[in-house]
Amino acid sequence: MATNQLTLYVESRFLSPYAMSAFVALQEKGLAFAIRSLDLAARENYSAEYASTSFTCRVPMLRHGDFSLAESSAIAEYLDEAFPSPGYRAILPGALRPRARARQIQAWLRSDFLAIRQERPTEVVFLKPSDQPLSDAARASANRLFAASDALLAKGATDLFGEWSIADTDLALMLNRLVMNGDAVPDRLAAYAQQQWQRRSVRQWIEQGSAASARRTLCQSP
């Protein structure tokens, strides 16, 4: 299957955790791909062309030849099946039950923790921290996150399943909403999140965001 027809559509500020997840998945697979950014504030994602292929008008979206797919967890699963190991690195665990658990973690992170996502948006990770304290609801949400993460991450482990998977990036990002804002996070989980943040694929996403921010600043200069 050809790899030279892959295009990832992301939001132009490079702040979406879901676009980051899809970007990291592509990088970890070792696939060549183009990036196209959409200005969500200008509603470029609602253009007729984009809407006709994404169906949901959301980012990220992966285009592979004449096939388009939105939703980051669906993109990760598609990439593992379209470009399987051993030719390409797996981004989800190979065994049935760990793979199911990784999918559970991804779904959980996308459907829960609304208070954390509202009070610690990804701006605190990629731009600057917030000076507002967490609400009672967000602290309760954080405590649930910590309890489950501690149970999922084996003692002394640096990855959830013995080796890296895309679920590690997704969990690290949720934890880093708190870590990078200076909120209290258990030392073991903070160390895990910070170590995951040093992966080359993650740093490449951050570099993309920094470059986009520099371009915006340049365009806004008098």
User: For residue 203, what are the contacts with CB-CB under 8 A and spacing of at least 6?
Assistant: none
Rounded CA-CA distance 11/35 in Å is 10
Question: CA 18, 19, 21, 22 torsion: positive or negative?
Answer: positive
Global confidence as pTM:
0.92
CB 6 within 8 A of CB 155: no
DSSP state of 18: H
Residue 29, pLDDT above cutoff 80: yes
The model's pLDDT over 151-210, given as tens digits with 9 standing for 90+, comes to: 999 999 999 999 999 999 999 999 999 999 999 999 999 999 999 999 999 999 999 988
At which residue do the structure tokens 């917030």 appear?
130
d(CA 202, CA 4): 22
Is residue 218 scored above 70 in pLDDT? Answer: no
